A = this chain, B = another copy of it.
Amino acid sequence: MYANSGYNKCPKLEVIYLNVDTLISARWVIPVEPANKVLENQSIAIKDGKIAGILPNEKAKLKFRPAKQYQLDDHVIIPGLINAHTHAAMSLFRGMADDLPLMEWLNDHIWPAEQKLVSQEFVEDGTRLAVAEMIRSGTTCFADMYFFPDVAATVASDAGIRSVIGLIIIDFPSAWARDADEYLLKAGQVHHKFRNTPLVKTAFAPHSPYVVSEQSLRQINTLAEEMDIPIHMHVHETTDEINQSLEQYGKRPLQRLDELGLLSPRLLAVHMTQLEPAEIDLIAHYGVNVVHCPESNLKLASGFCPVGKLQANGINVALGTDGAASNNDLDMIGEMHRAALLGKGVANDCGAVKAFTALEMSTINAAKALGLQDMIGSIRKGKQADLIAIDLSELESQPLHDPVSQIVYSANRNQVSDVWVAGKQLLKSRELLTINENQVKLSAIKWREKF
């Protein structure tokens, strides 16, 4: 009776839908940019791997026609977490040797095991185990540093996780390369091979100032500028490193790096537990990024990174797990918790490293450190759809006064329910979609038997 009668008269009622691939409607969305915002009942539309829009649930349903739709009524959506420092394949060394002095741990356990076991197959299986664990705990991008970086890049890309693969340079022979020249040669080859792989970026990864020659460091610096990629390096991890450098060169490692021209926004200086006030000024001046690894620093008794002080000086601090051999997990949800707690203890200030700051360290700060801030690190229209959902319905998250507090101080990795990278779902209600979980476990058992 009324058919068609109204529409012609009232063109305002004509709704034009925008076709999108995915629409995720959630109880809360924390975009990270702008800071300290918690949006309620919002939907994120995804098209061609990118965020096409963020709108209140009701409006989004009128505007978008999605191929896939998710209704997450108990969940908070945050940007995928970025692990700014790890050695993924070392997950196979998890729990192999704990509670030992650092040099005994390295000399008698880790290095002999690496000498004996590290191969293409080891890196393949170890990286896959690591990637599975990272996806299950909400990490959507990781900055890696290990041998056979080409293998790690392939495993990561195949699993659909984003990676910044470290082009390892170290002054001793390994199964990957014989000498400095071969490491540099292979670095260039790996960079070239993956230059068009969408989820893979590269960074130079000279291990540390004490195992890479000054000549190599100079070459890396020039090449990194030419290739426009970051430099990812362990710096000032322990007092031993400082003392050895003072003995050998008469100066602290940061001074050497300064003289070599390596201090710049291109540098990710990992650990940084030993810092004098003038050194904090120096890295603030040059815009060096610090990657803080609280669990590894504690477990190896390396010292305390003064995160609160660095942030008060405007230094960009990202967060990393380090490898599973010294952590012993690759769980960024847990790492945020430890960073927020330890940061307060070390600063002697309850207000240091607030919950939201820890979330920034694991998302936008890491993106900035890696030079990827226009692509990832926050939920903004046009950025890649790297997103995770955290279920806050568990009783451990009650009462829920503030989702940010619950994520950082109370949630754990098991509450990560869903993960998307570039719009593709990798975890669905805790089930891995791109990795065969059982196969990963069986391969870890096989490696344990080889040890």
Contact = CB atoms under 8 A, between A and B. Distances in A.
Interface of A: 92, 94-96, 98-102, 105, 129, 132-133, 136, 295, 297-301, 303-304, 327-329, 331, 334, 338, 340-342, 344-345, 347-352, 354-355, 393, 395-396, 398-402, 405-406, 409-410, 412-414, 437, 440-441, 444-445, 447-448, 451
A437 B99 CA distance: 38
Contact of A448 (B94, B301, B400, B405): B400
A73 to B, nearest CB: 14
A347 B451 CA distance: 31
B94 A350 contact: no
Contacts of A96: 399, 401
A112 B208 CA distance: 52
B395 A132 contact: yes
A239 to B, nearest CB: 9
B347 A301 contact: yes
Nearest to A308: B301
B445 A329 contact: no
Given A101-B350, A299-B341, 9 more contacts: A95-B410, A96-B401, A98-B409, A101-B351, A300-B344, A301-B347, A301-B350, A396-B413, A401-B451
A187 to B, nearest CB: 30
A409 B329 contact: yes
A102 B350 contact: yes
5 contacts: A300-B344, A301-B345, A327-B409, A342-B342, A395-B440
Given A94-B410, A354-B99, A299 B344 contact: yes
Contacts of A100: 350-351
Q: What is the oligomeric copy number?
A: 2
A395 B95 contact: no
Given A298-B345, A301-B345, A345-B304, A328 B400 contact: no
A399 B447 contact: yes
Contact of A399 (B92, B297, B412): B92
A99 B404 CA distance: 12
B95 A405 contact: yes
A412 B414 contact: yes
Contacts of A406: 95
Contacts of A352: 301
A94 B399 contact: yes
A94 B399 CA distance: 7
A435 to B, nearest CB: 9
B441 A398 contact: yes
Which one of A132, A304, A350 has the greatest number of beta carbons of chain B within 10 Å? A350
A94 B406 CA distance: 9
A100 B354 CA distance: 9
